[in-house]
Structure 1
Amino acid sequence: MGLKVGVVGVGYLGQHHARVLSELSDVEMVGVYDVDPGRAEEVASRIRVRAHSSIASLVRECDAVSVVTPTLYHLPVIEEIFSIASPHVFLEKPIADTRENGQRIIDLTKKKNVLLQIGHIERFNPGLEAILESRPRPAYIEAQRLSAFGLRGTDVPVVVDLMIHDIDIILTLVNSPISTMRVVGTPVITPHIDIANAWIEFENGCLAQVLGSRVSMEKLRKFRVFDREGRYFSLNFDTRELSEAKVSLNPGSLPQIERGKRVFEAEEPLKKELRSFVDAIRQGRTVKVSGEDGLRALEVALEVNRLAEESLKRFQQIPSD
Structure 2
Amino acid sequence: MDKPIKIALFGIGKMGQNHLRILSMLKDVEIAFLYDTNQELCQVMSERFGVKILKDIDEDLKSCDGAIIVTPTFTHFDYINKVSDYVKNIFVEKPLTNTLESTQIILTLAKEKSLNIQVGFIERYNPAVLTLKNILTPNTHKIINIDFIRTNKMSSRITDCDVVIDLMIHDIDLALNFNGDVRDIYAHGVVINDMIEYARACIIHTNGSFSNIVASRITEKRRRQISITTNNEYIDCNLLRKEVFVDKQSVEQRLDNVSISANTETIEVRGQESLLSELIDFVSLCKNVPSSLSANRPNQNDGMKAMRIAHQIQDIIHNANR
Decide: shared fold, TM above 0.5. yes
Answering whether residue 226 of structure 2 is matched by residue 223 of structure 1, we say yes
CA contact (8 A) 1:67 1:89 kept: yes
Alignment of 1:236-251 (within 5 A): 236-248=238-250
What is the deviation of 1:254?
3.8
Instruction: Tell me what 1:199 maps to.
Output: 202
Question: 3-state SS of the aligned residue for 1:122?
Answer: helix
Corresponding residue pairs, total: 309
Instruction: Tell me what 2:100 maps to.
Output: 99
CA RMSD of aligned residues (A): 2.0
What is the deviation of 1:248?
4.8
Note the residue ranges of structure 2 that are not aligned, 5 or more in a row: none
Instruction: Tell me what 1:35 maps to.
Output: 37
Instruction: Tell me what 1:120 maps to.
Output: 121
Aligned partners of 1:153 and 1:235: how far apart in 2? Answer: 26
CA contact (8 A) 1:148 1:217 kept: yes
Q: Which moved more, 1:198-207 or 1:104-113?
A: 104-113
1:126-182 CA distances to partner (integer Å, 9 max, x unpaired)? 11101111224210111110111445322111001001111110111012x322211
What is the deviation of 1:246?
2.5
Matching residue's letter, 1:78 = I
Instruction: Tell me what 1:275 maps to.
Output: 280
Aligned partners of 1:250 and 1:179: how far apart in 2? Answer: 40
CA contact (8 A) 2:73 2:160 kept: no
What is the deviation of 1:199?
1.3
Of 292, 300, 303, which aligns to 2:312? Answer: 303
* 1:31/1:186 CA distance change after superposition, 3 Å: same
Alignment of 1:202-213 (within 5 A): 202-213=205-216
Alignment of 1:1-321 (within 5 A): 1-83=3-85, 85-134=86-135, 135=137, 136-175=141-180, 177-188=181-192, 190-228=193-231, 230-248=232-250, 253-255=258-260, 257-265=262-270, 267-285=272-290, 288-313=297-322
Q: Per residue, is there more strand in 1 or in 2?
A: 2
Matching residue's letter, 1:173 = F
Question: 3-state SS of the aligned residue for 1:101?
Answer: helix
What is the deviation of 1:283?
4.1
Matching residue's letter, 2:112 = K
Matching residue's letter, 2:312 = E
For normalisation by structure 2, the TM-score amounts to: 0.90
* 1:156/1:231 CA distance change after superposition, 3 Å: same
1:11-45 CA distances to partner (integer Å, 9 max, x unpaired)? 11112112211210111111101122222112221
CA contact (8 A) 1:32 1:58 kept: no
Percent of residue pairs identical: 28
Q: Which moved more, 1:210-219 or 1:101-110?
A: 101-110
What is the deviation of 1:305?
1.1
Question: 3-state SS of the aligned residue for 1:10?
Answer: coil
Matching residue's letter, 1:125 = N
What is the deviation of 1:308?
1.0
Aligned partners of 1:97 and 1:150: how far apart in 2? Answer: 17
What is the deviation of 1:284?
3.5
Aligned partners of 1:250 and 1:167: how far apart in 2? Answer: 39
1:34-93 CA distances to partner (integer Å, 9 max, x unpaired)? 12222211222121111112433442221001011111111111111123x123100100
Matching residue's letter, 2:87 = S
1:247-293 CA distances to partner (integer Å, 9 max, x unpaired)? 35689844453321135357321111001111233243456111111
